[in-house]
Amino acid sequence: RVTVVLAGGGGYSASSTGGRETRILYGNVLQQQSDTSLKKSRSRSIFSPFFCCFTNYHVDPPSSQSTNNKTQALPPPTTDENGSPPKPPAKSLLPEVNISDCGKNCVVIDLDETLVHSSFKPISNADFIVPVEIDGTVHQVYVLKRPHVDVFLQKMGELFECVLFTASLAKYADPVADLLDQWGVFRARLFRESCVFHQGNYVKDLSRLGRRLSNVIIVDNSPASYIFHPENAVPVQSWFDDMSDTELLDLLPVFEGLSKEQDVYNLLQSLRVR
């Protein structure tokens, strides 16, 4: 169990569905990437592997586990010799569509720098603080919510079948999602072990979800996360601490339009050429 401490005081316990603790090889840097399509680089530290796919550290894939349907993890497949995306697995990452979501398109939403910004350095105005254990030592993670994220999530929950898909580790991201999603918007939560490790990046392979790709949208600030399916993406600007940011509000009309499409590709294509 992970004890979650609210920034304003008090706290409660929330179950962690991260499964077996992931062994992190702190010093095994695979490559130095300068591609501007990746997320804005933070200072490197032993804590970096807890966050998203822009990190360059190798992490051994954890065992597949699932608790309360929060994770539907499968072992990350390897790419073939020519670097092509792997074939979809026989078993899907997502469960069957909930009755309340029948007829809705599926939207896959990123966490870090899309909905929140997290730091191991103290943040005076953190919305909440989540303790994370690393090698037997508990470290405090300070989390800032992106402006208008509450309105965004509630509206997205009305319009779509929503799935949280992050390249971060479950033992960090799961308690953050517990605090962030007070309305049960996310029908499923997928973490790093559900990504495909491809050419140094943790990629979110939408073909593994078990949904028709023409009905799937991914919302992510990192193009590296959706390199297998760029035609399904609604890119967002990375967010760190700008409290005047209105990106999530500005995108709502776009998503209202996409929610009415039986095939999202045409509208997404028209948005890209603008």
pLDDT at 59 over 80: no
Confidence of residue 186 (pLDDT cuts 50, 70, 90): very high
Buried b (16+ CB within 10 A) or exposed e, 122-155: ebeebbbbbebebeeeeeebbbbbbbbbeebbeb
Range of the structural domain that residue 65 is part of: 2-272
Please report, for the domain that includes residue 156, its CATH number.
3.40.50.1000
Domain count, the chain: 1
Question: Does the pLDDT value for residue 188 go beyond 50?
Answer: yes
pLDDT digits (tens, 9 = 90+) for 191-232: 999 999 999 999 999 999 999 999 999 999 999 999 999 999
pLDDT, the chain, mean: 78
pLDDT at 4 over 50: no
pLDDT at 90 (0 to 100): 62
User: Tell me: the pLDDT tens digits for 148-170?
Assistant: 999 999 999 999 999 999 999 99
By annotation, the residues acting in catalysis are: 110, 112
Burial class (CB in 10 A: 0-12, 13-18, 19+), 210: middle
